[in-house]
Structure 1
């Protein structure tokens, strides 16, 4: 199928795409530290990369990414700029309201940051209840299983994949010019027994901001990881599309 980039479409073209039933797809990223070797925009780069793959497969409308997110756990590191829970929730709801008013039959958000999960989940519930349109939040389905199968290094544990082999390989695939592998370091934090039940700044756990070992990362691995993530995400989105009302011809 053919996808459409909203930022490059005219107003009439955008309206025609919605009228034809195309689903808007929003990459929701963050601006936060990812160690000394990865760019602050890592989560946005990854979310946009996956959203593009989904849009190409389902003929969706790719919206411009949201470049900030709820990333207060990383706030002590320079360059991290966090939004509040309510701001993330409100951004998603406002965009959904504008799309619903223009006749969108559904809405997909591709989330690139762990901190966005809770506010986007709440936004999805409110969008469905208040606006009456279906919304799906995609949070890298199958990530842990894919990483366990394909990555060569051990994860840092507790579900944290941050600036290690998985993320570094994806950015090497998507934006290699922004990666400085000569600065990559490994760090495996020792978690306090209260973590993550008690909120702890990630700067207290990792001096470098890395959780795991990024040094074996390669662009080739990143391409394979993206293929696998895209397969899982596209299957999920296609299932979601079947729940939406069919557009009148």
Structure 2
């Protein structure tokens, strides 16, 4: 039996208050407005983070917060449409949301991160939030590399980088197929400079299309399988976190 999805943005305040009192864990999808090749929408990272967050929220009876649609994505700024937040703004948004849910009685806080560039600022935010008294877990798609290796048919571009490829394209096809233009999908396997990823890159200098890998074999069915596997791994992690929180 599927649990109901509690979406904070669609609920009245007394309902959210009751859920908080009952111990529902707030879950914040944190995405980005970032290029994903000529075939995927700029909101790809937000779509994926929201999709995984919805699965977790259903599985544990959590409180799904509205997704943050921007992130720290300066390495894609050479591609039109990308909108990047600064490191500190990304960190501060997470901290401010955490302060709000803490004020309303949250026992813990979960951030589901959809973009690699968000990892460092969100890790710092989680440390700051936890130090202020609200334990915080950042979910960075646990098991992603193993899931992709098991289910995808194409080789990754390298460095554990899955961007606008079969993996991401399949998941967006499963979640928002009308936003994907498969006729424009191209494969690109860039040559990485010797300083990658130790030096902050300009990704347009590495990949002309913005694609890292081959999105062309992507299918909605594969996307559903990938998403289910991601949600299962993330749910295990979040469940362990929730069970470790004080009653």
Q: Shorter-chain TM-score: which interval?
A: over 0.9
TM-score normalised per structure 1: 0.97
The yes-or-no answer on 1:46 pairing with 2:48 is yes
Q: Deviations over 1:103-155 (max 9, x none)?
A: 1001111110000010000000000001x111111111100111011100000
Given candidates 97, 111, 114, the residue that maps to 1:112 is 114
Say which SS state the counterpart of residue 208 (structure 2) adopts.
coil
Match of 2:223? 222
- Distance between the aligned counterparts of 1:191 and 1:5, measured in 2? 41
Match of 2:186? 185
Question: How far is the alpha carbon of 1:242 from its aligned partner?
Answer: 1.0
- Distance between the aligned counterparts of 1:3 and 1:187, measured in 2? 38
Say which SS state the counterpart of residue 244 (structure 2) adopts.
coil
| Aligned Cα root-mean-square deviation (Å) | 0.6
Say which SS state the counterpart of residue 236 (structure 2) adopts.
helix
Question: How far is the alpha carbon of 1:158 from its aligned partner?
Answer: 0.7
Matches within 5 A, 1:202-213: 202-213=203-214
Question: How far is the alpha carbon of 1:159 from its aligned partner?
Answer: 1.4
TM-score normalised per structure 2: 0.98
Question: How far is the alpha carbon of 1:2 from its aligned partner?
Answer: 2.9
Q: Check whether the contact 1:3–1:58 (CA below 8 A) recurs between aligned residues.
A: no
- Distance between the aligned counterparts of 1:122 and 1:59, measured in 2? 27
Match of 1:171? 172
Match of 1:129? 131
The yes-or-no answer on 1:236 pairing with 2:237 is yes
Q: Deviations over 1:54-94 (max 9, x none)?
A: 00000001000000000000011000000011001000000
List, as ranges, runs of 4+ consecutive aligned residues in structure 1 with deviation greater than 4 Å.
Answer: none
Where do 5+ consecutive residues of structure 2 fail to align? none
Match of 2:139? 138
**What is the aligned length?**
245
